[in-house]
Structure 1
Amino acid sequence: MKIQHKLTLNSSLVFGLVFTISSVLIYLTFIRSAERIFFEELSRTASLTAMFYLEEDELSTRDYSKIEKKFLTASANQEIRLYDKTGKIHYGEADPDSNITDKILKTVRANGKYSFKVGNAFYYAIYYRDNQGSFSIIIKANNPTLEAQETELIRILLTALLIGMIVIVVLSYSLSKEAYRPVRQIIEQVKNMDVTSGKHTLSYAGTKDELEDLFKEFNSMMEKTYQNIQIQKNFISHASHELKSPLASIVGNLEVLLQKDREILEYKHANQNVLKDAERLEKILQNLLVLAGLDQHNHEKTSEERLDEILWEVLDQLAGEYKTTRINVLWNLPENNTALLLYKCVPTQIYIALYNLIENAAKFSNLEPVEIVLTDTAGRLSIEIQDKGTGISEEDLAHISEPFYRGQNAFKTKGNGLGMAIATKIFDNHGIKISISSVVGEGTRIRLFF
């Protein structure tokens, strides 16, 4: 069931329940009030009856005639019975009433008055003492007007309930339809949307409510989806290029060798080229396996390690690979504070990440010195890697963490575009914040916050 229909159904049920409860309360209140008023009328009739039957000898003819007139008017269509102490009918209707039992007569004598209802018959009794004796005066009457009013009230309430249900169903359906109009429009837009064909966003009216927040979040998700699709496309494109180049070189070298017999030196030179390209392929595949493992969060066991020791291992390795590039380390850390250098991590991954960053700095430094600065930043370690080389453009900087993406400054430099992707993923998995700023022709600065 659609939310719009659920809203209509629920609002209708709630209205029906509330109206039914209200109607029952109104009906019961009306009946009780009407019965109370009718019993009061019977009480006055009972008093007149007592005076009519028992006070004739004590009143003047004029006063008695007034009482008689009122009595005859008030007692029309009513049954009157006066019971003496023995429970026998002394005045009024001669036929006994099965609803008037000895227990009721005792209750009347004990309480002085008593009222009750049996079916549609109303009974009101008083106990009256006179010089002729003590009598229980019981008035029995039906109230056809009240019965008609009850029937009419029930009809009015049922009619009101029916009309109210129709109105609330139509109104709630219309309101819910209007309220969910933006949602239906969005659904139509989503149905016709092809996220692979280009960048798409949902268009919606500014309502400043939860729906607008939902649409904004959806557009944000669409933006991220589009970016991921573009990254995947770039990944496929760059990966194809990176894998194709060494494979093409291997095939070309082998085809040249097979065209005719060659000298031993030529075979040796060709084999060296093939081996070099095969090693390049092997390195690309190794990096892809590392990156895939990081994406799947298949972390190795972490342990608390000293970051400076990992850094020295990286620098020792790079010292042999980039002999012409000087790497300076500036130690701006307080003395005897080894706790600042301790970090819970996977040491092999941190080694790979630092190696890739510092190697890039050395690779693109144009033989200028690379500076590494260790600083205490608000009680936490920060490492800054800065070179004065070619720099990175803003356009390339936006894609620097994408696998196989290589900037305009890197086409003439050896590499496969996976180093930064692996490094940023490792830092992200370890909760290490990375900040990169660069100016073309002036160099690049990378800061790591542990």
Structure 2
Amino acid sequence: MKIRSKITLIFTLTTCTLLLATFVSIYYFAKVYSEKEFYEHLSKRAKIEADFFLKAEELDSLTFNEIQTEHLLHLTNEHAYVVPKSNFSSLPEPILSFASSITDNEAATQKINDTAYFGIIYAHHQDDFIVIVSAIDEHGINLLHSLKNILLIAFITCSIIIFIVGVFQAKQVLIPISGIVKRANEIRASNLHLRLDTGENNDELAELSSTFNNMLDRLETSFEIQSNFVSNASHELKNPLTAILGEVEVALRKQRTVDEYIASLNTIEKESNRLEILVKCLLELAQADHDNKGLIIESIRIDELMLIVKSDIDKIKPENQISFDFSELPETAECLIVQGSQSLLRMVLNNIVENACKFSTNKPVKIKVSANENWVEIEVDDKGIGIPPQELKNIFEHFFRASNARAFNGFGIGLPLAQKVIKIHGGSLIINSKEGEGTNVKIRLPNYRQAVSIDR
């Protein structure tokens, strides 16, 4: 069932139910009031009947005529019974069972089919008499019947009107949603720049449109990054392959000396190593793109991991000037423990520290490790070439390299990879840099108390 039909149905059922309850209540209270009024009329009639039958010898005929003319109006199927209380068993059924329910303290009323019965105990000359009056409230019954017909016709008419109004209102309410659906169907991969109209109203539909537009912003950015990634990856892979094929082609054109073959093989080996490193980086990036699937999660003490990273860098760049600042280490070593993949974190930290050494041409690099009850923070500070301010926003794009870093070897994959890995571990990566002054990298990871759950 469509939402429009649901809204119409719910609106119609709810309103008609309330309307029906109102009409039923009107009919019920009208019936109660009509019966109460008729019983009051019967009570007066019973008193007059008692006076008429029991005090007839005390009144003249003129008085009786006045009573009959003023009070004893004709009632439909009217019957009156005045019998001594001691001899009420002579009454016919169902009068007899009704008479037995009459007490000295209060009158009794009963309705059998359409006939109403009213009975009281009337004292006369030290004797008690049972006075019973019965009649059919034909006027009240006709009024209630007319009221029932009026309410029924009104209910059917109002239900039809309510349904028509519900259809119209549901259509009006869903017009903006229809516009959203139509606009969303127009958006394709080729026109992701299109956006939904949020309108001027600050309602749920505007919030929905805004949320959808935010999703489109992320999708557009993702498509652009993917497109740039494929283009840049193709370009980076093409360069070493072109160099290898060119060197092989040149070597095969004619007979060459051993030294020339060795030089060609050295060039091929160099380009092959470059290609291997690039493919390895792409594989690592692809692994990180799969988030946390298949990761081996273990407890890692960050200060010990940083010492391992320092040992790794010493093998690659023995001339480095890396120093540690452990002045803000916590009193308990447990605060330094994080849950995650040691191989991925080691790779990321190696890349960041190696970049600090590389882009500072082996100037002093300071590594500070600190922690609190919830977080472990690693800060790497160098005095290198820095990053131009207008390019700082692009450093996490795949294959992006700052304009002043072209003289250094690299592919522009390290920082995007680091950001993904740290994000997988529930942490954050913040980079501040000034061109010509150096770069500060802050890595924050949740410790074992604050660690996010990583599926194995």
Verify same fold: TM over 0.5: yes
Q: How many Å separate the matches in 1 of 2:217 and 2:18?
A: 47
CA contact (8 A) 2:196 2:209 kept: yes
Q: How many Å separate the matches in 2 of 1:128 and 1:315?
A: 116
Q: Are residues 164 and 393 of structure 1, via their aligned partners in 2, closer, same or farther at CA, if it must alter by over 3 Å?
A: farther
Matched letter for residue 213 of structure 2: N
- Aligned-residue offset at 1:60: 4.5
- Aligned-residue offset at 1:240: 0.7
Q: Are residues 79 and 424 of structure 1, via their aligned partners in 2, closer, same or farther at CA, if it must alter by over 3 Å?
A: same
1:303 and 2:304 correspond: no
Q: How many Å separate the matches in 2 of 1:197 and 1:88?
A: 98
Matched letter for residue 417 of structure 2: I
CA contact (8 A) 1:50 1:128 kept: yes
Q: CA offsets, 1:162-221, max 9 Å, x none?
A: 232233333333333333332222222111122443423222212122222222222211
Give secondary structure in 1 for the equivalent of 2:100.
helix
Q: How many Å separate the matches in 2 of 1:444 and 1:163?
A: 78
For 1:5-404, list aligned pairs within 5 A.
5-73=5-73, 78-83=78-83, 85-87=86-88, 98-100=93-95, 102-108=96-102, 113-131=107-125, 135-296=129-290, 297-298=292-293, 300-322=295-317, 326-333=321-328, 338-339=333-334, 341-365=336-360, 367=361, 369-376=363-370, 381-404=376-399
Q: How many Å separate the matches in 2 of 1:358 and 1:26?
A: 85
Fraction of identical pairs, as percent: 28
**Which deviates more from structure 2 when the two are superposed, residues 293-302 or residues 69-78?**
69-78
- Aligned-residue offset at 1:134: 5.2
CA contact (8 A) 1:390 1:440 kept: yes
- Aligned-residue offset at 1:232: 0.6
Q: CA RMSD in A?
A: 2.9
Match of 2:428 among 428, 433, 436: 433
- Aligned-residue offset at 1:77: 5.8
Q: Which runs of 5+ in 1 are unaligned?
A: 90-95
Q: Are residues 119 and 339 of structure 1, via their aligned partners in 2, closer, same or farther at CA, if it must alter by over 3 Å?
A: closer
Q: Which runs of 5+ in 2 are unaligned?
A: 446-456
Q: CA offsets, 1:36-71, max 9 Å, x none?
A: 111111111121111112211123455444334335
What TM-score comes out, normalization by structure 2 length? Answer: 0.86
Give secondary structure in 2 for the equivalent of 1:73.
coil
Q: Are residues 98 and 376 of structure 1, via their aligned partners in 2, closer, same or farther at CA, if it must alter by over 3 Å?
A: same
- Aligned-residue offset at 1:381: 4.5
Q: How many Å separate the matches in 1 of 2:234 and 2:280?
A: 16
Q: Are residues 334 and 129 of structure 1, via their aligned partners in 2, closer, same or farther at CA, if it must alter by over 3 Å?
A: closer
Alignment length, in residue pairs? 442
Q: Are residues 236 and 176 of structure 1, via their aligned partners in 2, closer, same or farther at CA, if it must alter by over 3 Å?
A: same
Q: How many Å separate the matches in 2 of 1:114 and 1:279?
A: 112
